[in-house]
Structure 1
Amino acid sequence: MSAFTTRLSAVAEGVRIALDAVRANKVRAGLTILGIAVGVFVVVAISAAIHGINQSVARDFASTGPTTFFVSRYPISFENCDGSDGTCAWLRNPPIRPNEIESLRRLPSIESVGERLDWGTKVKYRERELPSASIEGYSAEWTTISAPEVYPGRAFTSAEARTGARVAVITTLMATRLFDGSDPIGKSVTLNGVPFEVIGVYKDNSSFLSGGERPKAVIPVQSLIRYVGARASGISLAVKPREGVARDIALDDVTATLRGMRGTRPGGESSFAIITQDKLLDTYNSIFGMFFLVMIALSAVGLIVGGVGVVAIMMISVTERTREIGVRKALGATKATILWQFLVEAATLTGIGGAIGLFVGWLGALGIRSFTPIEASIPPMAVVVALGASAVTGILFGMLPASRAARLDPVEALRYE
């Protein structure tokens, strides 16, 4: 018999003994398997959620173009603010003014400057009502920067955006809830009691960052201010450089123009925030980096609980099989053979827990995908890490009882009652 066949036979025997131990000690084995399964489930479920969020974030960034950046009244990170003027100077930042927006549009390095203003209000069509729908106000550059898929119907024109026409482009979800399958084009919905004509329907590319798919209407930003009551002080900008112009050059032009118009002295702090996609990504990574730490901590607790169970159940197994070990040694089994057998048994026990945790984690990923805006999916590496971690846990925690079994004196083992 070859060495490979011998080793394979030892593995098969270790697996069989482990399954027998599970059947003979259901409670102890069940608790051990549960601990491992919980650790693996946490790894798989959180990895699936984070993988889905990462894909969503990448899609959001790609939709606006790699060189597009944003101008806002306030920065996106307020961690150094304690409420005082010294640390919260951004609170005194003035809103972005119309003349500043027009000046930016005239810059030769800039292709388009899109305005955006978010609001929420009641939307109604006949007897159907959405009490707190999301309303987004955009300038005519909306279709240039975000490229929505409007069908049926159309997006509003530059003239409609400039004059503040009462027209609206609604999401498919809002169309479904308000019109229940009938054609919404040309019909009027009321926003905060003011009638708006529906001129188009678009598929909302919902994502985790945007809050997921929800009933939403897009109207000209001037209409949102004039008829719905939104405050113009909340307007932010999306700036798209001309093709062939480096983002940093366009960014410098925008910064110099706004600082000059606001009379900011050289070396003084800018009274506005320029947010690049790099900054957004850094902020995202700093926030969701905590999820990785939580994942590691929770999975480690589960694996340690399962590992302690492995030690307990394997020690009992060694005690119950002391005479058997003595017989095997008397027949020529080496310490390495005994050690290998018990390590295979421990790894099998934790492997069962890993498989169960992987299956439950897959179900969890399906649940996240179905009931949240997160398109959770399990990355292949998460499967490898989860199963590998369960097997390594079995080997590490099974080493103590396995080495004890390997060190048993065959004569004393044969005398054991």
Structure 2
Amino acid sequence: MTLLDAAETATSDPWSAVVGQPQAVAALTAAVSSPVHAYLLVGPRGSGKRAAAGAFAGELMAAADRRTGSDPARSARHRRLAARQEHPDVFVLSPAGPSLRREEEVSQLIVEASRTPVEGSRKVLVVDRFHTATPAAAAALLKPVEEPAGSVVWVLLAEQVLPEHITIASRCTRVDFGPVPDTEIARVLVSEGLVAADRAPLVAAAAAGNLHRARVLATDERVAARREAWWKVPDRLDGSGAAVALLVAELRAMIDDAGGALTERHRSDIVALDQREEHFGVRGSGRSVIEAQHKREHRQFRTDEIRFGLATLGARYRDEITSMPGEGAAANRRAAAAMRAVDRLRATAESLIRSPNEALALQALLLDLPPLGDSLSGR
């Protein structure tokens, strides 16, 4: 769903763009009538935090107007503009680079927090990807978040709360978001006409709770092939470094190929930027911001693909446990080996994703996994 799509449904159902998060929606809805100064929305990427922040901002604006006797049309306008991220009193900041930095972005937030609302009595500041804030940025934001002007409500969005952010998190009301359930993702994909009903479960599973990724994958005809490649990895393990090296090379090439559509879209962005600069005679108009965003999107894409692969491997080993025939010591050893593989995958997933050397990290992981089939043992 695009921002425009969200805006079209915002007036009738402000929370329709927030999928599969009934508890979070209930908490935010209850907060509208008497909001506190700051909220922290915590959950994985693609779980609907950004859409929820927009809906919450629109409801805060509409509620403030209702208390002054404003007409319903004005409330509808608040909701529509907030959903589009076009409301003059809703400021949304997404870090341009890999982290939220004090020098550029926090200074901008502090200035915005000091400004008087334009259209009403409320101002909402949404900070996306707060989990990337440097220690200096978090420290600089502490006082503005802790002691805002009476008209200001802060909404921080984070995938997790890091130790260096605990202090500022303690000043906020926390609202948790979980991965969007596969059934909900499949329902949305079918209702939006993005995939056929028989293909929706595959795409939903590949998205791993990320609705944004699910919409991207809806037009990716190679999802099934990539899942099959990861599924067959345990069949090709033989304990040798040569087999692992070949597998890792193939998997990384497959991820590179899957990112081709994203690369083409980025090229189109740069071409459009070149044309705008040529037309208006202005150079450097947001180029660094766009290039930083492209790098971030590429990193996120690879992270999502690796998570998809590791989840598929985990499902394969769990399937092996439930379908393993036979009894006795040998069967028990095979089941124990498969269980250890699932535990290894779960324990190493995040460290693998954060590793600066993707190839070496994948090789180390695959060398530690047991093969499947007759060769599965309790090593």
Q: TM-score, normalised by structure 1?
A: 0.26
Structure number having the greater helix percentage = 2
Q: TM-score, normalised by structure 2?
A: 0.28
Work out which structure has the larger RCO, using CA pairs closer than 8 Å and 6 or more positions apart in sequence.
1
Structure number having the greater strand percentage = 1
Larger radius of gyration: 1
